[in-house]
């Protein structure tokens, strides 16, 4: 595993958390799904829940993209330049 693959895995984990956390919230009102307005939330204290289908779709998309990029960069070798060697100073002849 090279450094690019490690970076991709870390960025994929961050994107997965962001995708799940930013999923829109839904509130169940009398057995139906509804997007509440601010006025409804003030009048009735309801417990919002994350829409599971949307969260799963987003998570699968992020995981798929991460795995695709991980394997795409698996064959790439980082080319390191030749090691720089300091030239030895030769004593000046008199």
DSSP, residue by residue, 16-53: HHHHHHTSPEEEEETTEEE---HHHHHHS----EE-HH
| Residues 17-34 pLDDT 10s | 888 888 877 766 655 555
Helix (H, G, I), strand (E, B) or coil at 63: helix
pLDDT confidence of residue 52: 81
The token pair that represents 50 in the structure block: 């994350």
| Residues 63-83 pLDDT 10s | 999 999 888 888 777 666 676
What strands, in cross-sheet order, belong to the sheet with 49-50? Answer: 32-34, 25-29, 49-50
- pTM over 0.85? The answer is no
């Amino acid at each position: 595993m090279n450094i690019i693959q490690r970076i991709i895995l870390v960025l994929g984990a961050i994107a997965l958390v962001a995708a799940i956390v930013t999923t829109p919230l839904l509130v169940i009102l009398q057995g139906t799904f509804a997007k509440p307005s601010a006025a409804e939330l003030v009048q009735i204290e309801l417990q919002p829940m994350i829409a599971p289908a949307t969260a799963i779709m987003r998570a699968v998309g992020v995981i798929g993209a991460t795995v695709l990029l991980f394997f795409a960069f698996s064959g790439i070798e980082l080319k390191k330049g030749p090691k720089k060697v300091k030239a030895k100073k030769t004593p000046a002849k008199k």
